[in-house]
Amino acid sequence: QNWIVEYGPAGFILGNGIQQFVDTPLFVSTTLNPSTSYDFYVKSVCSDELTSIWTPVVTCSTPCSAVQVPYVENMESYTGTAVGEAGVIPECWSYLSDASPARAPHISTYNAVSGVNGLVLTAKNASGFSADNYVALPWFSSNLNGLKISFMSRMDNAAQGALTLGYFTNVSDASSFVVLESVPSTTAAGAHEYSLYGRNIPDGARLAFRWYSASPAWDWRCVIDDVSVDFLPCPPVSNV
């Protein structure tokens, strides 16, 4: 059996896309751009004169390509939403949370550390929320062990919730998160900087934050802002 696949940028008009004839159920394209959404349609080819109707549209997004260092994200290029309203996360970031969309990590105007927006994480051990919330930074083209990360944070309550910096080897698997640092809790705007030198972070890993609270009664929030990843100016000497 043979098929025709037509595809193009999300929202394109069927008939104006790129058509490709395939003779296997596996379709591979090497011309797609990173961080882009595409629509796909497929129909069967039964003979030279007879084809099926097109399938309903299937929309897929390609992953981001590796991001260059230095990297800065201050959340200000996005429209921040209220704390209980679904929103977006920075481009090429990802999150892992069991919370509803309104309670999942997103860019918000709530309790911003600097400027208008910040990335808010809400933790609560109750239905509709998630006690564990993770946000992963983009995949960087440089070896993480030669970099440093700086950011600002602020918590609702310095005695409730815990923020940690770490990395994922698989952003879809919470068990692959490895803690690098426990971030001090503060209700004031706290500035933090950590060297990643000598951490033995594996290739392909992604830096990430974890915000956790086991409280079943209250939802506690942490805001992260002004995230910067840069090269270490002068790595320390090792193996002396």
For 126, 136, 228, the CA distances from 158, given in Å and listed in that order, are: 21, 23, 23
Residue 238: the pLDDT is 63
Whether the pLDDT of residue 199 is over 90: the answer is yes
Residue range 151-192, pLDDT digits in tens: 999 999 988 899 999 999 999 999 999 999 999 988 999 999
Which among 226, 220, 25, 27 is positioned nearest to 125, based on CA atoms?
220
pLDDT (average), residues 205-219: 92
CA 13 to chain centroid: 30
Full-model pTM = 0.81
Residue 234: the pLDDT is 78
- As a whole number of angstroms, the distance between CA 181 and CA 165 comes to 5
Whether the pLDDT of residue 83 is over 70: the answer is yes
Residue 214: the pLDDT is 83
Contact predicate 120/158, CB 8 Å: no
Whether the pLDDT of residue 127 is over 80: the answer is yes
For 11, 15, 32, 44, 128, the CA distances from 55, given in Å and listed in that order, are: 15, 13, 21, 9, 35
Residue type, 6: E
Return mean pLDDT, the chain. Answer: 92
Which among 180, 168, 181 is positioned nearest to 96, based on CA atoms?
168
Which among 65, 72, 64 is positioned nearest to 149, based on CA atoms?
72
Residue range 18-69, pLDDT digits in tens: 999 999 988 999 889 988 999 999 999 999 889 999 999 999 988 888 999 9
Residue 125: the pLDDT is 86
**φ, ψ of residue 146 in degrees (nearest 5):** -105, 20
pLDDT (average), residues 189-213: 94
- pLDDT bracket for residue 208 (50, 70, 90): very high
Whether the pLDDT of residue 6 is over 70: the answer is yes
- As a whole number of angstroms, the distance between CA 100 and CA 85 comes to 10
